[in-house]
Structure 1
């Protein structure tokens, strides 16, 4: 992770955030998140710098309480950092109004959660089309059919979530995340409630979203030469092994990474980090 240059100064001496770095899907600069004040304050993020290129799959792991969920929430604009800047696709979202943030999340981001978060009263097709409906866009049933076919649920469009297995519900959630053709998909423990075989199917879908060009975007010849960018928080080394890189969080900061590691390598690195974090906590007690 490279160091950032200092901020420029405006004519009235107020600091101006530097421009976003070209080619990055997600960029965090000096991001801190503090809960509470005084001696009892909790520093969930303690100065995070991160630069993720477009069309990459990144897994984030760390011991319990390391700041994984806070990192994801700040990176996705679901929570405001106490300090620092967050850029999504070149757009700084720090300090953006809630209305603009909501519009950005609906049009450019996809989300997959452990709990699926499907609406039980809607059909599978209606759940998939919900992001388009909320964004005020046309309800494109052909688009819904395309993404449902991609996740292997072409014949389930008229069903309701309660009629599906857990793995099928998570595939509906993935289809919902894909329907807008998002720049970035944020996944929070997407396989936490699934068995090993079903988890592999869902991870394969996320991997495919990264490896398949979107066919849209501002490039000569029409389209990006990359697919979506996936940022996934997980506790499972087998899930993390699907990613291009694994980053490890400890005490609110990144403590190194691993490129394309096996599940065994990732588990070993995670065990070392957890042991070191526990030893440091014991020494400080």
Structure 2
């Protein structure tokens, strides 16, 4: 069992994200609900971490706090050494746009923009110019070099998710956060997306944090962290889908 008072660490790697005693409480008084309860964890650079837990365990809140989408009730979140709690809303928005990549179950692409325009959108919103060499590298890595002038409606679901992954990578963020990225895909296409995320970590040294309910998806990660009732409830390193499913059964998910 992982103690919630000390960060979960992988030695020798500077964390891309560090949560220290992070709690998140919704509501107050008798209606207060603790979504996260004193969670401390390091997410080292260049690693792939999956987060799992029963429904209502705090997975989404964990992801939102790590990304700066939610402010913790207490505790601190460091993104590459930057204390997110110390930032005002304007600067926090800039940091999320420039230093965090997001991949969601819904691809969240702009239907009137081409593939290339969707990929570079975070840069354009930040008044930055795309690095053409990096753009070329990213689109080749995700297998979209021949689709840059297509609209999202002309792509399959898997291709649209690849656009979303490329968009998440284009700013060279501290971390890519993925929320059920294969939830809307069939098993074959989902496997291809997971292989792509695994390749992104292995080939570019990117950091990926993924929330999932799927033991097969979780098995692509270096480490699977389990949550229950807002607390850390253990971790497995490079586990098989069967080991993940067994742990989830112990947590009461199935």
Instruction: Please tell me whether Structure 1 or Structure 2 has the larger radius of gyration of its CA atoms.
Output: 1
Number of the residue aligned with 1:182: 173
Q: Unaligned 5+ residue runs, structure 2?
A: none
SS of the residue 1:145 aligns to: helix
Number of the residue aligned with 2:150: 159
Number of the residue aligned with 1:109: 100
> 2:64, 2:53 → 1: CA distance?
15
| TM-score for the superposition, normalised by structure 2 | 0.93
SS of the residue 1:94 aligns to: helix
1:49 to 15, 37, 40: 40
> 2:161, 2:212 → 1: CA distance?
15
| C-alpha contact (below 8 Å) 1:61/1:234 kept by paired residues | yes
The equivalences for 1:1-285 within 5 A come to 3-4=5-6, 23-213=14-204, 227-274=205-252
| C-alpha contact (below 8 Å) 1:186/1:232 kept by paired residues | yes
Runs of 4+ residues over 2 Å off in structure 1: 1-5, 139-146
Deviations along 1:37-95, one digit per CA (max 9) or x if unpaired, are 11111111111111121111100000111110011000100010111100111111114
TM superposition shift of 1:191 = 0.5
| C-alpha contact (below 8 Å) 1:80/1:95 kept by paired residues | no
Q: CA RMSD in A?
A: 1.8
> 1:72, 1:235 → 2: CA distance?
14
| C-alpha contact (below 8 Å) 2:19/2:39 kept by paired residues | yes
SS of the residue 2:251 aligns to: helix
| C-alpha contact (below 8 Å) 2:17/2:79 kept by paired residues | yes
Higher relative contact order (CA 8 A, sep 6+): 2
> 2:229, 2:30 → 1: CA distance?
17
> 2:13, 2:51 → 1: CA distance?
23
SS of the residue 2:106 aligns to: coil
| TM-score for the superposition, normalised by structure 1 | 0.83
> 1:236, 1:61 → 2: CA distance?
8
- Relative distance call for 1:240 and 1:4 in structure 2 (3 A) is closer
